[in-house]
Structure 1
Amino acid sequence: MLPNQLYPAHLCWYFRKHSPWKHKIDRGLGSMVEAGLVRQWIQVRDKQKGRQING
Structure 2
Amino acid sequence: MLPSASVSPLRRSLVLDRYADRRRGTDRRLVLVVLFTGVISVTAFSALSGRTRR
Interval containing the TM-score (normalised by the shorter chain):
0.3 to 0.5
Scaled by the length of structure 2, the TM-score of the pair is 0.35
Scaled by the length of structure 1, the TM-score of the pair is 0.35
Indicate the structure (1 or 2) with the bigger Cα radius of gyration. Answer: 2
More helix, by proportion: 2
Larger relative contact order (CA 8 Å, sep ≥ 6): 1
